[in-house]
Chains A and B, each alone.
Chain A
Amino acid sequence: MAVQLLPDELIIEILSMLPAKSLLRCRSVCKCWLNLISSTKFKLMHLHNFNQLNPRYFVRRLLEAEECYDVIFDDEDFTFDDATQIEFPFDPIRINLCFRIVGCCNGVVCLCDDDGYYTSTSDIVILWNPSIRRKLTLTLPEFDSIELEETFVVLGFGYDKMSDDYKVVRLTYPPRSSIRPPQASVHFLFPPMFGKNKLVHVEVYTVKTGVWRKVMFPDNLRCFYIHYNWSQTFSNGCVHWIASDPTPGVSFSHRSIMTFDITTELFGEIELPEFLAEESLRVSVVGESLALIHSSDLNFDGLKSGSTYMVMVMKEYKNPASWTMLYYRHYAEVDLGKPLRLRNNGDMIVELENMDLIMINNNEGYYVYVCRDCVEEDFDCRTYVDRYEESLALLDVGDSVPNKEAMEALMMN
């Protein structure tokens, strides 16, 4: 008697809970599984089901001048060990010790090989899916900043649910001295390629098209100047950066959150709570809510006496009236360090000056070391923490990344 087949619905459900690595194998099981696993509908279902069961974080640290990457379970312990380490297959070619991580979204990490301080348009950008070891190296944009003096570049990375596509946005800034607010009647000092009313040149790359294309930058944003040492947070379909008002004389003091909607490709601005609008801040998320971290440790200048951390969450997205304080912690006796990211439960990951990582408990304010094997390094912006979702992204585009072992074996032959 032939074995009774299982309903498709059951098979799909089971497969959607498998790790990406198992799915790569399962593609060989039979023809219909290959079609199933390659379909967009299944990929999205897997992204949701698997990651709901396996919430994890992606952490990059710089240990003895080596980039170390871990994928860590989002549980109480937040433990680093040999099993959490993942292989990093790239070597930066620029003078920087490690890549800048633009963002990490739906299983894809966006890396930029810049010089560690300023990003430029000639820097190589790579999209990397560690779960299935695939990468896509972006073509260089058409817009060439070499003809411009002192420009710097800000990148953003996110996933567009509507078109099931990953996008990278690149903002090229003119020198600050030449930035004029649109309403000012002072003549423009921009090089001609910026165009008459364009303060910032914007291009968007989509994985599906494989090309960069120009996008309009609006002329009605007050705060649009992003610090060169930028970092982004992707949530609610938008990239978020902290930006300042570049008006001369205002001295960068007024800030807000600049947003870029990955689907509509429109820029926007979210007001900060007024008492924080002139402070150094970091954008993060708690669950699905946009969050802000204010800390005495975000400014390295000045004398420190203990550390303070305040976390605000935006209960209703894009409604500045809904900024609510989640907690405020003051540690009078110790200088802790720089806040990196909030976890889904509100716990804060903080990087100490010696690059050890601690986790501040959201309810009770105590902190525990999560990682203390770091060595002293005098670098800023090297440690990166973000949510990690395993996915099958880039399966049908880009190239596979050989692991180092395989590379060495190849060289030997």
Chain B
Amino acid sequence: MSKKTLTLMSKDKQLFNIEEHLAVQSVTIRNMVKEDGASSVIPLPRVDSETLALVIEYLNRQQAPEEDEDYVKKFVDERGEIPTLLELAQAALDLDIKKLMDAACMKVADLIKDFTLEEVREALRIENDRTPEEEKAIRDEFQWAF
């Protein structure tokens, strides 16, 4: 009996095939399959093709459950760039793949933990809405932490 295959479509309209039993590790996809059989293509409008390729690589892993934890860690470790990790985390959030999202976030946290304020803002795409005076007031309270 041939295994059932699903097709996922990235933001930039690229198509990826994946076996259904692997794809349903994503809670989002599992719910879609349950609801309407998901016979046609599943569009993922927020995930670009590079990231989706990574997600598919992750879903296709063949790991014994006891090695899985280490595998996820290594998987995100090898993609050590913050922008890639954030894309991956966001895709994992959309697709509801908790382990992958946790691991990607953990890696980002590890990378930014010693960043300066400006570096944190840049990495996590935050706009500074404080006046220098406000920033200073908070900074002075815990000068040693800066």
Residues of A within 8 A of B (CB): 3-7, 9-11, 13-15, 17-19, 21-22, 24-31, 33-34, 53, 132-133, 400, 403, 406
Cβ-neighbour of B124 out of A11, A27, A406 (below 8 A): A11
Which residues on A sit within 8 Å (CB–CB) of B145?
Answer: 21-22, 24-25, 132
Do the beta carbons of A29 and B109 come within 8 Å of each other? no
The residue on A at minimum CB distance from B113 is: A22
Do the beta carbons of A14 and B124 come within 8 Å of each other? yes
Q: Which 10 residue pairs across A and B have the least CB separation, nearest first? A: A17-B109, A24-B145, A24-B142, A13-B105, A28-B138, A22-B113, A3-B125, A14-B105, A21-B145, A28-B135
Cβ-neighbour of B130 out of A11, A21, A31 (below 8 A): A31
Do the beta carbons of B144 and A403 come within 8 Å of each other? yes
The residue on A at minimum CB distance from B143 is: A406
What is the total number of residues of chain B having a CB less than 8 Å from a CB of chain A? 34
Bound-complex Cα distance A406 to B110 (A): 28
Do the beta carbons of A30 and B105 come within 8 Å of each other? no
Known: A10-B86, A17-B106, A406-B144. A29 touches B121 (CB 8 A): yes
Known: A11-B124, A13-B101, A14-B109. A28 touches B117 (CB 8 A): yes
Do the beta carbons of B102 and A30 come within 8 Å of each other? no
Q: Does B61 contact A (CB under 8 A)?
A: no
Known: A9-B93, A29-B120, A31-B130. A18 touches B113 (CB 8 A): yes
Q: Does B126 contact A (CB under 8 A)?
A: yes
Bound-complex Cα distance A359 to B113 (A): 32
Bound-complex Cα distance A400 to B140 (A): 11
Q: Does B139 contact A (CB under 8 A)?
A: yes
Bound-complex Cα distance A11 to B125 (A): 10
Chosen A-B contacts, 26 in total, with CB atoms closer than 8 Å, are: A6-B90, A10-B89, A10-B90, A10-B93, A13-B102, A14-B112, A18-B113, A21-B145, A22-B115, A22-B145, A24-B142, A25-B116, A25-B120, A25-B145, A25-B146, A26-B120, A28-B117, A29-B121, A29-B126, A30-B126, A30-B127, A30-B130, A31-B130, A53-B106, A132-B142, A403-B144
Find residues 56-110 in chain B having any chain A CB closer than 8 Å to their own CB.
86, 89-90, 93, 101-102, 105-106, 108-110
Which residues on A sit within 8 Å (CB–CB) of B135?
Answer: 28
Q: Does B36 contact A (CB under 8 A)?
A: no
**CB of B116 to closest CB in A, whole Å:** 8
Q: Does B5 contact A (CB under 8 A)?
A: no
Known: A14-B124, A28-B130. A7 touches B93 (CB 8 A): yes
Bound-complex Cα distance A21 to B114 (A): 9
